[in-house]
Every structure is written in structure tokens, then in C-alpha cells.
Amino acid sequence: MLVLVAPGQGAQTPGFLTPWLDLPGAADRVAAWSDAIGLDLVHYGTKADEDAIRDTAVAQPLLVAAGLLSAAALGDVNGAGAVAGHSVGEITAAAFAGVLDDTAALGFVRTRGLAMAEAAAVTETGMSALLGGEPEVTVPHLEKLGLTPANVNGAGQIVAAGTMEQLAALEADKPEGVRRVVPLKVAGAFHTHHMAPAVATLQKAADGLTVADPTVTYVSNKDGQPVATGADVVARLVGQVANPVRWDLCMETFQRLGATALIEVCPGGTLTGIAKRALKGVKTVALKTPDDLEAARALIAEHTTPAV
């Protein structure tokens, strides 16, 4: 069984969209999306520097656009047994599942990025990944420092979020067993109470969406559970900006569903890296450039059942 996943913020790098725009029709598609949401995705995906694409209002639509574009280049992915996304990647996954069409997904993520950027501007905050350690030791230590375990990613990785002062204290006082604390390329303490102001804005945007029920199993960051209705998917997308990402629970569900393969759409690498450590025996392909499409298509052919 194949799982199709989409990465979250911090996966973007300068120029990462460039090779994808050489594919037939890709540049026109991204230009149309840019016009629809009022953001030059082509510029930010090809020419903008690291600081420019770290901006939450830019990074989030850019990541969803890249995920949609690379999935379309794969061809028919209807044989996937489940879809999921990490943080903003959940919106990409909602489009994969047919809950939102591509334009609606990009419009929604544009609103999300702007609202979260505005919330992040209130206080200087950030996020850092902790490598190593055990959750039962790390989580209480973070809470003692006033930090939130905003991403519980599994495979020995937790991401802490909070003020810059709190993150500096973490660097100086690591939990037992943690080897490194790595600052992430994000501009705020996402999935914490710092993002609460963005929830109301997103709810208003969600009220205007046309949604459909998932056509494939959609696994939620909230609790790692499959979600049956489009309305519930969107409700979770709204609330999730201020609540922790439980990617560890998502992976447990992939295992329970019988996952044998996992493809991570562009800019792939982060989630496949975690899967290699946590989902032993599951074959993975990360879509970084179009050169990875052939391997991904081979994985699809091997691990999906064609529709009759």
C-alpha cells in the first residue's frame, strides 16, 4: 500500500522550483496559480533568496504549489492507499484527497500564510528541532522552559517552539539524551498558542470553501486518525495551526493500514528521512527534482492496484 505525503515549512530552498518549471505546461500552471492568489510563485520558487522564502506568507503557498505540481507530474496517483501532509502539507494532502480543488487549496493556504505571519509578528518566536532523546524526558523539559513540543515527529525527533529567549535557554540547557538543537527556517512558533489569532481568520476563509469528502484515506496531524468527511478535514486544518503536529501518530496509522511504500512530493526529503528511521521495511522516494519521477512511478506501479 502506497502513502503519498507532503512536507511542511522549512523544506523549501532557494531555486527548488526551477527544474519543475521545465516540464510541459508547468510554467503556465504556476503562473495561473500566481495570478489567482496574488503572489508570484515563479519568482519565489526560482530567483528569491533564502530570507525571502522563509517569510511565512511566501513559504506556505510555495510549498503547496510545489507539492501539487510534482504530484501532477507523477501522473495517476489515485491508487494511493492514504495521503497525509506535515503542517501546511496537510492542505496539499487535502487537494490530493479531492477535499479541495487546487485553486481553493492555494487560496486557503495564502490566507493561512498571511494570518500566521501576522500572528508571528506580535512576538519574536521560532522553532528548533531536537535530535535524539526520549519524549518522556524531552517533553517535560521543554514545558519547564516554557516551550511547546509543536511537532512530535517520531524517530527521535521533536520540534520545540516558543520565544527566541526560550529557545536560547534550550540551546544552553538541552534535555538529557538530546544530541543537537537545530534552529528551523521558519518565522514563528507555529502550532502553539502564539498562532491563536490566525484561527479566527482561517475559520472565516473556511466558511467560504466548497469541500468534498476524501476519495482516499486522509490521515490527520491532530491525532493520526483517518478523517471521513471533507467538513472534518477543513475543521482540522483550521484548528491545527495552533495545536501540535503528531506526525508520530500519522506514521503509526500508516503502519496499521499496511503501508509498504511512501512517496514525498516536492520538496521531498524531510518526511522520507523520518520514515527511513521509523517505518522499517517501507520503501521511500523523495521528489526533489524531476529526475526522481521515474523511481517514484516505479514505486507506484509496484505498490498500487490499478483501478478495474
- Write the pLDDT tens digit of every residue in 29-84: 999 999 999 999 999 999 999 999 999 999 999 999 999 999 999 987 778 999 99
Q: 197 is in which domain, residue-wise?
A: 2-120+192-303
Q: What's the pLDDT band for 248 if we cut at 50, 70, 90?
A: very high
Q: How far apart are CA 7 and CA 60, in angstroms?
A: 10
In a domain, 269, yes or no: yes
In a domain, 308, yes or no: no
**Quick one: average pLDDT of 265-288?**
96
Whether residue 136 has pLDDT greater than 80: yes
For residues 250 and 116, state if they share a domain.
yes
pLDDT for the residue numbered 308: 38
Is the distance from CB of 245 to CB of 8 less than 8 angstroms?
A: yes
In a domain, 28, yes or no: yes
Is residue 109 within a helix (H) or strand (E), and if so which, with residue range?
helix 102-120
Task: Tell me phi and psi for residue 72, to 5 degrees.
Answer: -65, -35
Among the three residues 183, 201, 219, which one is the final residue of a domain in this structure? 183
Q: How far apart are CA 166 and CA 305, in angstroms?
A: 49
Rounded to a whole number of angstroms, the distance between the first and last alpha carbons of the chain is 17
For residues 272 and 202, state if they share a domain.
yes
Residue of 65, 68, 84, 66 whose CA lies nearest to 2: 84
How many distinct structural domains can be found in the chain? Answer: 2
For residues 103 and 213, state if they share a domain.
yes
C-alpha 40 chain-centroid distance = 21
Is the distance from CB of 104 to CB of 37 less than 8 angstroms?
A: no
For residues 20 and 159, state if they share a domain.
no
pTM summary value? 0.94
Q: What's the pLDDT band for 307 if we cut at 50, 70, 90?
A: very low
For residues 264 and 161, state if they share a domain.
no
All cell numbers assigned to 139: 517533553
For residues 110 and 243, state if they share a domain.
yes
Choose the weakest-confidence range: 16-25, 117-126, 279-288: 117-126
The catalytic residues are 87, 191
Alpha-carbon radius of gyration of the chain: 18
